[in-house]
Amino acid sequence: MTKPVVLKAAKLPQTTGAELEELFDLRILPERDAAAWLAQNGKGVRGLALRKTIVDQALLDALPDLEVIASYSAGLDNVDVPAVKARGIKLLNTSHILAEDVANAALGLALAVTRDLVQADGFVRAGKWPEQPQYKLGRSISQMDVGIVGLGTIGKALARRLEAMGARIHYQGPNRKPVEYTYHPSALSLAEACDLVILTCPLTEETRHSFGAAEIAALGPRGFLVNVARGPVVDEAALLEAMARDGLAGAALDVFEHEPQVPQAFIDDPRLILTPHLGSGTEETRQAMADYVVDALAEHFGQNSPRTARPLAQV
């Protein structure tokens, strides 16, 4: 029987590529001259394994037979979702798989910035403890009003952790959820009510720079910000300006607007904790994400997956 044609437009683990090649007639999108390659080879491609490749109208036009997209990533800011849906193409991502580890990372960053853990480590290593027996006091998340921007799969996983710690949970998003947390119609209202705000929302035109000067000012000089969403959700210029005038107590950022480039002013400020987009970066979760790409495509095409197929999380 003829195998379905699947295009791999993603850097995936070697074992994942081997599994795709076993199940499908696998084609590899070249990094150079991709448009020319698609013009010659796009017809007949029925599945797409995706990571960061831009899926715009031009790519969709070059793949007239496309039925399903399986994205290794949770974020879909590289995908023209309305155009995909208009074509009736099934769109699957891994947000349900990486949610727990991203929530763990967000909580770790929140604890690190509110308790000054990174600088405290340096304090001990520098031999300063004997000279200064009492390190400066941090803040207690257990006593805070904590706001989550984006109460999706990741946001809910994070809220459960924060609630177990005793924090009072607030959230903001386009829709009110059937939860007992306090809802805010705007990020500004959320920031005004909270001591700590954690961003977990997707990057869209509506959320781009949605946490800017007004929201940071509302959070105030004793407030904290954590971003595990996407870098452009935060107006980095506004954050830099606020930090320069002591308008915020601290921030922990796992994502940046022009990553891997990070503003030097961020690097120089010890009140900022900076990590290299490692929210989902555990061996277990990254393998599960890669496995899901294979399993989702296999289930769509009625193939026997190497694993028991997980429920498909269609966008």
**What is the pTM (predicted TM-score) of this model?**
0.91
Locate 181 and state its tokens. 């947390």
Does the pLDDT of residue 128 top 90, yes or no?
yes
Domains 5-74+283-300 and 98-274 share a fold: yes
Domain boundaries, the chain: 5-74+283-300, 98-274
Catalytic site includes residue 259: yes
At residue 308, the pLDDT reads 58
At residue 313, the pLDDT reads 57
Do residues 147 and 196 lie in contact, with contact meaning Cβ atoms separated by under 8 Å? yes
Locate 280 and state its tokens. 């989902």
d(CA 294, CA 72): 10
Catalytic site includes residue 257: no
Segment (H or E) for 68: strand 68-71
CATH 3.40.50.720 fits 5-74+283-300, yes or no: yes
For 268, other C-beta atoms within 10 Å of its C-beta total: 8
Catalytic site includes residue 184: no
Catalytic residue among 87, 168, 209, 277: 277
Render pLDDT for 238-275 as a digit per residue (tens, 0 to 9): 999 999 999 999 999 999 999 999 999 999 999 999 99
Q: Which residue has the tokens 């035109």?
A: 205
Catalytic residue among 139, 230, 286, 300: 230
Render pLDDT for 269-285 as a digit per residue (tens, 0 to 9): 999 999 999 999 999 99
User: In terms of CATH architecture, what is 98-274?
Assistant: 3-Layer(aba) Sandwich (3.40)
Catalytic residue among 160, 176, 259, 284: 259
* Signed CA dihedral, 246, 248, 250, 253: sign only: negative
Kindly give the residue spans of alpha helices, DSSP state H, lying in 24-94: 34-41, 57-62, 81-86
At residue 305, the pLDDT reads 81
The pLDDT-based confidence of 31 (bands split at 50, 70, 90) is confident
Does the pLDDT of residue 309 top 60, yes or no?
no
Biggest alpha carbon–alpha carbon distance for the chain: 76
